[in-house]
Structure 1
Amino acid sequence: MQSSGFFKMALVLGLLSAIGPFAIDMYLPALPEIGASLGASVGAVQWSLTAFFLSLGAGQLLYGPVSDMVGRKPPMYFGLALFTLASVGCALATDIETLVALRFVQGLGAAAGMAIPRAVVRDLHTGTDAARLMSLLMLVFSVSPILAPLAGSGVIALAGWRGVFWAVAGAAVAGLALVYASLGETRPAAERVESSLGGALGAYGLLLRDWHYLGLVFIGGCAMAGFFVYLAGSPFVLINHYGLTPTQYSLAFSVNAAAFIGTSQFTAALGERFGLVRLVKVAATGSGMVMVAMLGYYLLGGDQLAVLIGLYFVASALMGLVIPTTSVLALEKHGAIAGTASALLGTLQMLTGAAAMGIVGLFANGKPLPMVVGMATGALVGVALAWITLAGHSDHPHVVAAKA
């Protein structure tokens, strides 16, 4: 694939992957306003996030095998259409219960954009070429947490929190046009012949018995769980506790996203030089150490916003190396069932994140410490999994490159 075609594919897949997260990041600055508008508590409003993540995870279990059976494009059409309709419903919701329910449906639609692009990457490449394409995809995908909160702040100022959902509905319609015009089918009919519902169930059984695959999935899942805890708690901590405006919050949130984006672009180069396995071990360990430092600071009574933002900037940068690399390694040996393997990966990671959000939400009080405890716990479990899962595993950079 020529470099221009390589980047074009990354752009298309990244934009499709970003539609669901855009619906998260864009309305983060509105969470306090939603609570006030609908007369809901902090915990109840956070459930609109948790419900979205639960369905975003569970829905991938369906889309992955279906995309193996019928191709990658038809499930994308269905998911984006469902997402559009649910977004319109969210914009019209009059109570928090209805909003939470519709956010669950919206997540089911968004799940297509999470599972299928990863499968397309595996259809096309393995090894460091896959890492390079995954990194480019993450570059486009990660623009969402930089631009979406800022865009959300503007939309909220002009049209209130309901305007956010009208905006993401429009983005989904644009996604439908993008799939039709720019995404070729990467799952040929000949490769679908042996795919069936029974085969999908058998594939899930195979994957759930593959401890190496599961370990890699949960290393990335723990990194994402810490981020999800920050995602749910940071609007209340930064806006209510530290006194930032929604726009200032959006800028602070964007700083961490920029760190993730920047380092993720080095995964292929670092993987070629040092090996993908070593990269995961070092980056996960570094992230864990940073989060321990942050936890210690708050346990000792510290309460400076600059420390929170600065330390999480470093942790986010290291997660930018962990998440795409573990995804590539997890899918490496499962090319024949890439859609199913990608779906289970996404489901387990999203459910891990949703569970972490739900647990930390029980203790949320709008102050930093409960959020920081949740973030640090996720990082430390990820470190332990990295060293347990990858113990005895090594990869020479030239061997990795040769697999592509």
Structure 2
Amino acid sequence: MSTEANKAGFYRVAIILGLLSAIGPFAIDMYLPALPKIGQTFNVGIQEVQLSLTAFLIAQSVSQLFYGPISDKVGRKPPLYFGMAVFFLSTVGCVYAVSLDMLIVFRFLQGIGAAAGIVVARAVVRDLYTGVEATKMMSLLMLVFGVSPILAPLVGSSVIALSGWRSVFTIIAICAGLGLVLIYFGLKESYPKVKRDATPHQGSTLNAYLILLNDPKYMGIVLASSFALANFFVYLANSPFVLIEHYNLTETQYGIAFGLNAAVFFFSAQMNAKLCQRFGIETIIKFGIWTSTLTMSAMAFGYLAGIDSLFFFMGLYMIASGAVALVIPTTSILAMESHGHIAGTASALLGTLQIAVGPTFVALLGPYMNEEPLPMILAMTFCSLVSLIFVMLTLTRKSQLVKA
């Protein structure tokens, strides 16, 4: 096959995997500006409305534990078909929800469906690529993935203004249908039966998980990544109330503010492949988490000292977002590097812990959160500090993934 054809195939896989893995986050980001409106519709408070987000994230987290081992046994495409079908049907249910409880149930089912795209996308990357090439693919996937948080809040706020928050779920359902089409026509099976038969027998699913849980480097990297991402989840759950109700932004202005942070994150992620090739993947992870932690600490001290400025918050959080972008894709690659034979299971545990930590913090801290920015900022800073501790405890040896 020609070099041009190889490149075309490389980018085609990146686009399709990016779109499939972005459908779930799109279902979060697009409806974030609607959280206050949903509360008004069902006459409930902040904590109750946040349950619709928490239910989605918990379901998405736990479901990954099942999709990963299944994809190692039956291939990557069947779980994708199932997940996208569940996601489509539950999204239609959200459109017609007549109570907050009903909306929460359908959001939970949405999370079950969305988990498939996230788990399988990482497993496909590990099936096809390793090392710097895998980092390049993951960075490209993150670029496509990044369209969601950049555009989704803007689209969502516009749709909400024109036709109400239920129309958001109509658009999401259309995207789910497109996902099913892409799986069928655009994605080849990366782990066919001949590969599965050639893979050494690993025993039960439980044994595969025990292998991962007993690998201190895998677990350390995954927990570092999970707490780094928890910073974002705390922001995700509370920023609509802080920015819209405390700083008096409109839904559209909130969408722009959210999109700016997302743009910084995902454009920064595109630097990963070149930086890792030059300096080593572990060095880049350490640099990213140190920068994020110091920036969040400066923000926390500023607010404790009496600063209450939207521009101060936005400026520092953009820096922290850009730094975390150097951590999330690279930790995913490094964690799975030694576990290609159980890539689906490794991806599942990685994804489950990444998503579980954030919603757990959101749920535990919910009673202490309000429209003020300080509680949110302190929680985000704490997550960054814990991530830094895991990084420094785990990555003590010089990276092997240096210049290719």
TM-score, scaled relative to structure 2: 0.97
Structure-1 residue corresponding to 2:97: 93
Q: How does 1:227-306 map to 2 (within 5 A)?
A: 227-306=232-311
Q: Which amino acid in 1 is paired with 2:125?
A: V
Question: Could you list the per-position Cα deviations for residues 83-126 of structure 1 after superposition, in whole angstroms to 9, with x for gaps in the alignment?
Answer: 01111111111111111121111100000011000000000000
Question: Could you list the per-position Cα deviations for residues 265-310 of structure 1 after superposition, in whole angstroms to 9, with x for gaps in the alignment?
Answer: 0111000100001110111111000000011111111110001110
Distance 1:169 1:60 in 2: 21
Deviates more, 1:130-139 or 1:257-266: 257-266
Distance 1:393 1:81 in 2: 44
TM-score, scaled relative to structure 1: 0.97
Question: Secondary structure of 1:157's match?
Answer: helix
Tell me, yes or no, if structure 1 residue 326 matches structure 2 residue 331.
yes
Structure-1 residue corresponding to 2:42: 38
Distance 2:366 2:148 in 1: 24
**Once the 2 structures are TM-superposed, how far is the Cα of residue 195 of structure 1 from its aligned partner?**
8.6
Q: How does 1:102-121 map to 2 (within 5 A)?
A: 102-121=106-125
**Once the 2 structures are TM-superposed, how far is the Cα of residue 221 of structure 1 from its aligned partner?**
0.8
**Once the 2 structures are TM-superposed, how far is the Cα of residue 394 of structure 1 from its aligned partner?**
2.9
User: Across the two proteins, how many residue pairs are aligned to each other?
Assistant: 399
Structure-2 residue corresponding to 1:222: 227
Q: Is the 8 A contact 1:275 1:397 kept in 2?
A: yes
**Once the 2 structures are TM-superposed, how far is the Cα of residue 381 of structure 1 from its aligned partner?**
0.6
Distance 1:199 1:134 in 2: 29
**Once the 2 structures are TM-superposed, how far is the Cα of residue 367 of structure 1 from its aligned partner?**
1.0
**Once the 2 structures are TM-superposed, how far is the Cα of residue 130 of structure 1 from its aligned partner?**
0.1
Distance 1:91 1:374 in 2: 33
Question: Secondary structure of 1:365's match?
Answer: coil
Q: Is the 8 A contact 1:229 1:360 kept in 2?
A: no
Structure-1 residue corresponding to 2:362: 357
**Once the 2 structures are TM-superposed, how far is the Cα of residue 158 of structure 1 from its aligned partner?**
1.9
Tell me, yes or no, if structure 1 residue 72 matches structure 2 residue 76.
yes
Q: Which amino acid in 2 is paired with 1:98?
A: M
Question: Could you list the per-position Cα deviations for residues 57-93 of structure 1 after superposition, in whole angstroms to 9, with x for gaps in the alignment?
Answer: 1011111111111110110000000001111111111
Distance 1:116 1:274 in 2: 29
Distance 2:102 2:49 in 1: 12
- Alpha carbons of 1:32 and 1:396: their partners in 2 closer, same or farther (altered >3 Å)? closer
Structure 2 unmatched runs, 5+: none
Distance 1:246 1:396 in 2: 43
**Once the 2 structures are TM-superposed, how far is the Cα of residue 197 of structure 1 from its aligned partner?**
9.8
Q: Let me know the Cα RMSD of the aligned residues.
A: 1.3
Structure 1 unmatched runs, 5+: none
Structure-2 residue corresponding to 1:84: 88
Tell me, yes or no, if structure 1 residue 150 matches structure 2 residue 154.
yes
Q: Which amino acid in 1 is paired with 2:31?
A: Y
Question: Could you list the per-position Cα deviations for residues 136-158 of structure 1 after superposition, in whole angstroms to 9, with x for gaps in the alignment?
Answer: 00000011000000110121122
Deviates more, 1:285-294 or 1:355-364: 355-364
Q: Post-superposition, which runs of at least 4 consecutive aligned residues in structure 1 deviate over 4 A?
A: 194-198
**Once the 2 structures are TM-superposed, how far is the Cα of residue 393 of structure 1 from its aligned partner?**
4.0
Q: Is the 8 A contact 2:76 2:120 kept in 1?
A: yes
Q: Is the 8 A contact 1:68 1:195 kept in 2?
A: no
- Alpha carbons of 1:87 and 1:27: their partners in 2 closer, same or farther (altered >3 Å)? same
Distance 2:317 2:49 in 1: 24
Distance 1:116 1:238 in 2: 34
Q: Which amino acid in 2 is paired with 1:165?
A: F
